[in-house]
Chain A
Amino acid sequence: MHELAITQSVVDAIVERTGPTRVTTVRLVIGRLSGVVPESVRFCFDVVTAGTPLAGAALTIDEPAGRARCRRCGAEFVADDVLVLCGCGCADVAVDGGDDLRIASVGLMPAAEAS
């Protein structure tokens, strides 16, 4: 279950940047071709954030699709799978993008509300 390690990396990276400040929202980008299942990250998120400044934070996950380009006919199209076929029937396809796995932003609680 690499999503557990992935989610732990997310929390560690955020706490490293934001310290003890309460984090209320987390926005992740998990591309459709990243090899990470967003649903599993959601499952792990509450467990991993418990007892950290991220506890209770709302998690938003953007899931951009991949882009593919046929090396034979040059057509460009959307790829939701690593195994893609071009419309021309060719399997020699370069997949570009959609493998994002990053923390886009976090929302921080205003200092006045943090206690």
Chain B
Amino acid sequence: MCETCGCDDPAAAPRLTSFPADAGAAGRSGRELLLEQRVLAKNDEQAGQTRQRLAARNVLAVNLMSSPGSGKTTLLERTVRDLAGQWPLAVVEGDQESVRDAERIRAEGVPVVQVNTGRGCHLDADMVDRALRALDPPAEAVVFVENVGNLVCPALFDLGEGVRVVLTSVTEGEDKPLKYPHMFAKADLVLLTKCDLVPYLAVDVDHCMGLIRRINPAVDVLTLSGLHLPAGAPGAEPEPGLAAWYAWLRARRPRPDARPRAGAAGRV
């Protein structure tokens, strides 16, 4: 993927000479056409339409992003298991190849569409639009969009989501926010996963938290532990971080769960 062009290694990219002479020549002999057009205008336009459509149905779309192996699918399996029955749920799975993740989610009994990007290293607004049309989530639903595992490219593409959630696991080391600041700068929430492994690792969690806050002072940060352990293993239960994650989601739904006050008539 990125080794093809070295796009994840700025040090490997020498500054080449541009071509001002040619640009000038075109101005003299040809016609210069001013465009002043954003490169991602088409993607952003589609994302805007998706966002409007979802808002009209009070649907919350959650764009989940991380490196491969941070625990996105594992968190989703657990999340849809715990929340099924509370809210309508649906999942869009993004991967280069295979329907493996979609099968894992389908096993939990939740509607899911797998998007395979082939050589592409991120989801874009058009892919998500097509997936959402296939899923057709009901009003009030929460739709989780699991992006392709990649801390670089997905940061740039608006999918029309309501919130952006970035996972980073303690096994990846504390310096991921420093190395991939664009991803963390645009997050609404960072989930630090696999925290039960901290005692076995040379990782400085406080330093990691400090880096996240330095890049994105307003971001929320929650920690999760033990989701990667087999059910029933010591440390696998209970997981207080999950309650905080669900509360965070609940607070961001377009129409929060109705909590009828005593004597108050429920809204329609």
- Chain A interface residues (CB < 8 Å from chain B): 1-6, 9-10, 12-14, 17-18, 24-25, 27-28, 35-40, 42-44, 58-61, 81-83, 91-92, 101-110, 113
Contacts and interface: CB of A to CB of B under 8 A. Distances in A.
6 contacts: A1-B121, A9-B43, A37-B13, A44-B5, A104-B34, A105-B36
Interface of B: 1-2, 4-7, 10, 13-16, 18-20, 22-23, 25-27, 29-43, 119-122, 124, 152-153, 155-157, 178, 181-182, 185, 214-215, 217
B7 A2 contact: yes
A106 B16 CA distance: 20
Given A59-B19, A107-B26, A37 B35 contact: no
A27 B124 CA distance: 24
A92 B217 contact: yes
A106 B42 contact: no
**Secondary structure class of chain B's binding surface, majority of residues:** mixed
A108 B185 CA distance: 38
Interface centre among A13, A18, A82 (most CB of B within 10 A): A82
Contacts of A92: 217
**Secondary structure class of chain A's binding surface, majority of residues:** mixed
B55 to A, nearest CB: 25
Nearest to B4: A1
A25 B16 CA distance: 17
Contact of B23 (A25, A82, A101): A25
Nearest to B33: A106
Contacts of B119: 4
Nearest to B152: A2
Contacts of B41: 13
A82 to B, nearest CB: 4
Contacts of A35: 152, 155-156, 182
Nearest to B2: A1
B31 A107 contact: yes
Contacts of B26: 24-25, 58, 107-108
Contacts of B214: 83, 91
A13 B23 contact: no
Given A25-B19, A107-B23, A108-B30, 14 more contacts: A1-B121, A2-B122, A2-B152, A5-B153, A17-B37, A27-B23, A37-B6, A39-B5, A40-B13, A60-B18, A60-B19, A103-B36, A107-B33, A109-B30
Contacts of A61: 18
B39 A14 contact: no
A43 B1 CA distance: 14
Contacts of B23: 25, 27, 58, 60, 107
